[in-house]
Structure 1
Amino acid sequence: MPSYAFVDGQYMPRHLAQLPLEDRATNFGDGIYEVWVVAQGKLVDEQKHFARLERSLGELQIPMPMGRPALAQHIQRLIRRNNIRFGTVYLQISRGASKRDHVPAADIVPSLTIFTNNKPALADARLSPKPLKIITGPDLRWARRDIKSTSLLPNVMLRMEAHQQGCHEAWMVDDQGFVTEGTSSSSWIVTPEKVVVTRALTNDILPGVTRDTVRELMSQSNHKFEERAFSVEEAEQAAEAFITSATNFVGPVVEINGVTIGHGQIGEVTTILRDLYLRAAGL
């Protein structure tokens, strides 16, 4: 049974889907994207992802190709058509296609692409999570990191470096030596005093949806919470560290730059927050 995609108003077998040669997401990285996790056939943090999608489009002055209810309907149709119980939905909106020029044509129309990926392993999220090893590297991205743009080259290069070193993720570091975020995740530490710390929201980082949900759940964990910058050195000396993202949920970090974090095992606070998030997500 073929997997289907939705491209500019049409459902088609995924292997036949294609974008125009001069689509601006391809030529300029001029577009945005969102990724939802599907659990039990339902979108996790659905409305928060839609809100971030709309915000990113607004910041780039790209109009929504259709309203939120219509987008949600097409996503649900793809989930059903592709029989996705546990998986992901990728949605991309580019400014559209026109003759390649830095200034787009005045009559350009946004392009919409949606496809799904089946990930049955997500059903086992309650099993012991994989301990993660990470590296750090310079944050070479542009100044508007709060926009979920398709321009991901610095993220890709640093993630490739992490992979080459046998690590799962990389944390990006600003010019002052403070961690901004991961290449595809938000960065967190737990201090020796059991204070949970993550960087405050500014244009320096993406407003992570999972980050926001975990922040809301902090009130149930009985731990002190701070939004502030932390250095690589502080992270390496932390009692615990973890990442948050749509597909990793709350992922325990046990090693940073070869330095063992805490006792090198999944920490108590990380375990509590992961459990709270999975329950909230219906997993």
Structure 2
Amino acid sequence: MNNKERKADESLMIAERLLGGVPEPSAILSIKGKIVVKNTRWEGLVAAYYCEMSFIRNDEFDFQSFLSLLDGPATSRFRAVMDGHEAYEYFSLEDKGHRGGFSLTISISSLGISEELSYLISIRDDNESSCLMNALKDMAFSDPLSGFGNESSMHSFLTERIFLSKQEGFSFHVICIFLSGIKEITAMFGKKTSDGFLHRFSRRLAKESSEERLFRIMEDVFIIAIDSGERYTVSSMVSSLVSSLERPVFIGDTEILPSVLIGVCQFPADGESSDSLLSNCFSAAFIAKRKNLKWSFYC
């Protein structure tokens, strides 16, 4: 690793630690609006306000779409942050006639660490009982052990992705990863070791799939959604994943060897709903098992 890459990795680690200490749903954006890193509460709030925050899609913050929601003075303040003339501003989004009314405060801070780590965005739900609502959203959309989305979050995401794919005419793949032996690990070493193993496995998966959307839908089942429609690209990625994920994991003095089985399917060829895509991913994994392979496409 060269010095430039090392500094980039260190900056990203600092950004992740920064977001870990922010209580509100928050994300760090690149200068072009790409969401580089986000905390666990971000996903639940964005999903809950899907229509209101249409300027946030596919891990992108669309600056122009957000700008169109602001009035004249707020537009000037927003541009001042984007141009580097102001370090911090906040903006209110309100609609008293929709869904009983909503009220959101969006704050934007200029970080200026690099082009990839340029802005910190935080969103506060100002509605009554927002603390309770946010807690419920966390429970509804996040898996606490891995930090990934849970099954509800996955179905919400895939439904949105399917809609956009039909509108724009693109394809995407869904990868289902079965992690073997969790019950045996728990029985042999205890729940603490098992949870530690799952946490480290999740971090490894996140590192290997940094550009993709990740979900943990069962104790031993992980889902990755990737934009690529090219089978060659997906094949290369999955082969690399198997090699990386099956490296030993150390929990204290205990060495655990992960074993994975992977099924892959494609929208729209292998299903046109989140349920059918998930079902066919499971089937693809069973096809791989029957053929004594580590992974397989559905067809």
Q: Select the structure of larger CA radius of gyration.
A: 2
TM-score of the pair, normalised by structure 1 = 0.28
TM-score of the pair, normalised by structure 2 = 0.27
Q: Which has the higher contact order (CA 8 A, sep 6+)?
A: 1
